[in-house]
Amino acid sequence: MILTETKEWEAYYLPISVNGLRVLDVGAGEGETARFFLQHGASEIVCIEQDKPSWEILKRNAEHHPLTCLNKRFDLKDLEIPHDFMKIDIEGYEELLLQVRLKKPSVIEVHGLQLRDKFQSQGYAIEYPFKSEISPVCYAYLKKPQ
């Protein structure tokens, strides 16, 4: 699974170079994407993961790596955490981001066609995995702050 996802992440999670950047990884799971960003040169990762069992594994995986791990549900106040780039994958709760204007480059995994349309109407660039516009999952990008 990780090999397959890694190819997808290389295609969709790197709209900009993360080399030397501090990444906010929302929906960090067990740390797979944090490792991915470190392998692509990120200097530090702040991981937010709500699921307690996943966070426990994430915390162990963070040992000896520049990771800060928070076990909590994402809140818009988390956008105040210093970061240069944000990746967010929180299974539909990304709709919260439509309430604010992001100030940093971001990639958002969007779940659902109606939610996709809302992100697109707010100026986010949309890309589709497998080049299918009817896919229930797509990626919304903010490369330049609004």
Region 43-52 average pLDDT: 97
pLDDT in the model for residue 1: 45
pTM score, two decimals?
Answer: 0.90
- The CA–CA distances, whole Å, from 59 to 26, 79, 82, 91, 113 equal 14, 21, 20, 21, 34
10: Cβ–Cβ under 8 A, 6 or more apart, which residues?
none
List, in order of start, the domains of the chain with CATH numbers.
2-142 (3.40.50.150)
Region 30-50 average pLDDT: 96
Q: Helical H runs in the chain?
A: 2-12, 32-39, 52-61, 113-121
- Render pLDDT for 59-92 as a digit per residue (tens, 0 to 9): 999 998 999 999 999 999 999 999 999 999 998 8
